[in-house]
Amino acid sequence: MPRVDVVLLHAPAVYDFRERSIMFGPVSDMVPSTPIFEMYPLGFTTMAEYLERHGVRVRIVNLAVLMLNKPGFDVEAYIRGLDAALFGIDLHWLPHAHGSVEVARIVKKYHPDTPVVFGGLSSSYFHEELCSYDAVDFVLRGDSTEEPFRRLVEAIKRDGRLDEIPNLTWKDASGAVNVNPLSWVPSDMNAISLDYSFNMKSVIRYRDMMGVVPFKDWLKYPVCASLTCRGCTHDCVTCGGSAYSFREHFGRDRVAFRDPELLVRDIEHIQRYIPGPMFVLNDFLQAGREYTRDFVKGLQRIGMRNPIGFEFFKPPHEEFYQFLDAHLDDWSVEISVESHDDDVRAAFGKSHYTMAQVEQTVKDALKNGCSRFDLYFMTGIPTQTAASVRETANYIRHLYESVGNDPRLLCFVSPMAPFLDPGSRAFDNPSEYGYTLRARTLEEHRQRLVMPSWKYIMNYESAAMGPDEMADATYDAGLSVNRTKAAAGIIDRATAARTESRILEARLVLNRIDEIMAGPEPLREPALWALKYESERLSQSTVCEKSELNWPHSVEIRHVAAAAGLWLRENVNNVVGHLKGIVPPAKSDQHAGHTARTAYEAGEA
């Protein structure tokens, strides 16, 4: 394996998930990943693109996908065969607490002299505890680590000073943990690129398709995301990406937006190669009217062809949809309203709109050409009772009726699981929001992750609805919404029947696990193991079919041509590099040269 500067590794949520029997439940029903959360952070792509642009050779390895795809995949042998000056591991989402640290241990076992750096929001929150593990040398904190990472690589290669690297938590020779100031917090998001062609180049360079795909089924459903900003203007109480969390824990007191022109360029670039739908995450309406106008007109200018979906944090007005429809052919909307009950939603921190406004916005969007409207509801939020969850399901029936069972409306109910986000208001002050935490430290979360079912794994209990009630009410709501969708013709009868039996079976397995756990300790392990196959099968799309989340898309000749051109260019680049005995850094499609100075370097951040 040729030596590169940095290998970025994405671990499965639970490292040895193949050897354990765990009923993860519906924890990942609303995202493209399986319950081992094999999707790596978008930041892997932005960091890799940025580092490569500055001459640092980076390889992304999605260990989680490799392990999922090949049951016999030998992780240790694979890691032993890697050769890098530095290994980076993400612990961005807390559900990776177990897998990420175990992978770090394997890296250290085979590469004891190679440093290991962690990063991501959860790493930032638990940075000191993380550094106390032998296998972790550094943590890069904050939401923008591209440039600090470049400086760290430089320091490692040239024996430079670690105390000068912003955002770095590090161990010195004595083993003491040092915390440098969290001073690298750029005020915009313009110096980075979400350049997916980097990932494609990586496939070509390392002849490794599955090691770099963002999630297991990505080749079947090549969805892409683009981002309007870092941070959030809202303050939802259980969210670890809220204004509060960014201010208190990640050093950010203002949202950093990406210029609309650059965002349009990202999207233009994606649609050149990738046929899938595109999600624009983090409500761009937060940035104001001018931004909105420039962005939407820019999308029209590039001849937006892929389906595009927008996440909004509050219900837009009808005029806005008219504006969207005048500029775009195939656009969709998603809003997470959490509860049908305005009081429960207010307790969650979304008091800025009512359900009546949501109903109106759904009707307005559908009337004005929206291709699809996804509405998300959540269980486990402050003050929400089991009765309220069941009411949400009834409300969804009413909503479908009120839009004449329009098949473009898709409603989903899922649990806030497995964890209440670290660094959220509710995590920092649980009693204020009616919660009791079952885990606080990173190590406590690691231990919870290997418990036998999602009910045990959850890191919180709500005073309004205990874990048993919550699991029950969530499955009930899933059943009810599934029946509503079937009756309304939103999903076909066969799909609905499969989902219904999956939910009923999942409930039985959950109860069986409770019985096993109440029984004698020595009998637990074999009894749980006997349930392994069922637990896994029933944790893939429990409360709805995963395909319900998917938007239609089609591959066109232009995508094939663009990918072939990239393949050719990259192979020529590699052959030249290999003749010189190196893995050459990838050239950025979006930036003029590898070493172009950015606002970051110029210290304008």
Question: Smaller CB distance to ligand B12: residue 240 or 307?
Answer: 240
End-to-end CA distance of the chain: 37
CA distance 232 to 236: 10
120 versus 585: smaller Cβ distance to ligand SF4? 120
Which SS3 state, helix, strand or coil, does residue 338 take?
strand
Shortest Å, Cβ 274 to ligand B12: 14
d(CA 96, CA 317): 39
Q: Please choose which of ligand SF4, ligand B12, none residue 234 contacts, taking the beta carbon within 5 to 8 angstroms, the exact cut-off set by kind.
A: ligand SF4
What is the DSSP-derived secondary structure letter of residue 188? B
Among 39, 270, 420, 528, binds ligand B12 (CB under 6 A): 39
DSSP, res 313: S
Peptide bond before 418: cis, by omega within 30 degrees of 0?
A: yes
Instruction: Look up tokens 């580092």; give the residue.
Output: 51
In the chain, how long is the greatest CA-to-CA distance? 69
Contacts of 387 (CB under 8 A, 6+ apart): none
Residue 158 has a CB neighbour count (10 Å cut-off) of 8
Do the Cβ atoms of 601 and 147 come closer than 8 Å? Answer: yes
Q: Does 239 bind ligand B12 (CB under 6 A)?
A: yes
Written as one letter, the residue type at 211 is G
Task: Please give the Cα distance from 337 to 358 (Å, whole number).
Answer: 8
Centre a 10 Å sphere on the Cβ of residue 466 and count the other Cβ atoms it contains: 14
Q: How near is the Cβ of 593 to ligand B12 at its closest, in Å?
A: 21
Is residue 261 within 8 Å of residue 298, measured between CB atoms? Answer: yes
CB of 353 to ligand B12, least distance (A): 19
Q: What is the Cα–Cα distance from 429 to 464, expressed in whole angstroms? A: 16
Region from 139-147, 202-210, 257-265, 537-545 binding ligand B12, contact rule CB under 6 A: 139-147
Q: Does 197 bind ligand SF4 (CB under 6 A)?
A: no
The whole-angstrom separation of Cα 144 and Cα 486 is: 44
Partner in contact with 43, chosen from ligand SF4, ligand B12, none, beta carbon below 5 to 8 Å by kind = ligand B12
CB of 82 to ligand SF4, least distance (A): 34
Minimum distance from residue 245 beta carbon to ligand SF4 (Å):
8
**What is the contact mask toward ligand B12 in residues 47 to 76, using x (rule: CB under 6 A)?**
x-----------------------------
Min CB(457)–ligand B12 separation in Å: 11
Q: Does position 313 bind ligand SF4 by CB under 6 A?
A: yes
> Which residues, 224 to 283, sit near ligand SF4 by CB under 6 A?
232, 234-236, 239, 241-242
Quote the CA–CA distance of 449 and 286 in Å, as a whole number: 35
Report the alpha-carbon distance of residue 126 to residue 567 in Å, rounded: 41
- The option from ligand B12, ligand SF4, none interacting with 195 (CB < 5 to 8 A, set by class) reads none
600, amino acid identity: Y
- Burial group, residue 495, by CB count within 10 angstroms (0-12, 13-18, 19+): middle
313 binds, among ligand B12, ligand SF4, none (CB under 5 to 8 A by kind): ligand SF4
Q: How far is the CB of 312 from ligand SF4 (least distance, A)?
A: 10
Nearer to ligand SF4, 66 or 239 (CB): 239
**Contact pattern for ligand B12 over residues 420 through 459, marking x by CB under 6 A:** -xx-------------------------------------
Can residue 41 be called a binding residue for ligand B12 (CB under 6 A)?
Answer: yes
Are the C-beta atoms of residues 510 and 23 closer than 8 Å to each other?
Answer: yes
Which residues make beta-bridge pairs with 116? Answer: 87
- For strands 409-415 and 372-379, give the pairing: parallel
Closest distance to ligand B12 from the beta carbon of 117 (Å): 5
- Kindly tell me which of 334 and 472 has the beta carbon lying closer to ligand SF4: 334
User: Quick check: 27 binds ligand B12 (CB under 6 A)?
Assistant: yes
- Asked whether position 478 contacts ligand B12 by CB under 6 A, the answer is no
Q: Rounded to 5 degrees, what angle do the CA atoms 357, 363, 369 make?
A: 130
Residue 302 binds which of ligand B12, ligand SF4, none (CB < 5-8 A, kind-dependent): none
Question: DSSP string covering 550-589, please?
Answer: PPP----HHHHHHHHHHHHHHHHHHHHHHHTTS-PPPPPS
Q: How far is the CB of 429 from ligand SF4 (least distance, A)?
A: 16
Residues 104-133 touching ligand SF4, rule: CB under 6 A, are none
The DSSP secondary-structure symbol of 95 reads G
68 touches ligand SF4 by CB under 6 A: no
Residue range at the interface with ligand B12 (CB under 6 A); choices 18-26, 27-35, 100-108, 546-554: 27-35
CB 576, min distance to ligand B12, A: 29
Per-residue contact flags (x/-) with ligand B12 for residues 405 to 424, judged by CB under 6 A:
----------------xx--
Give the 3-state secondary structure of residue 337: strand
Specify the stretch interacting with ligand B12 by CB under 6 A; choose among 36-44, 364-372, 461-469, 541-549: 36-44
DSSP assignment string, 211-240: TT-SSTTTTTS--EEEESEES-S---TT-T
Identify what 236 binds: ligand B12, ligand SF4, none; CB under 5 to 8 Å per kind.
Answer: ligand SF4
Task: Decide which of ligand B12, ligand SF4, none touches 299; Cβ closer than 5 to 8 Å per partner kind.
Answer: none
Of 5, 21, 24, 28, the one binding ligand B12 (CB under 6 A) is 28
Contact between 605 and ligand B12 per CB under 6 A: no
Q: Give the Cα separation of 207 and 202 in Å (integer).
A: 8
- 530 near 515, Cβ under 8 Å? no
User: Which residues make up the interface to ligand SF4 (CB under 6 A)?
Assistant: 232, 234-236, 239, 241-242, 313
Binding site for ligand B12 (CB under 6 A): 27-28, 30-31, 33, 37, 39, 41-43, 46-47, 88-90, 92-95, 117-122, 140, 143-146, 149, 225, 227, 230, 232, 239-241, 281-282, 421-422
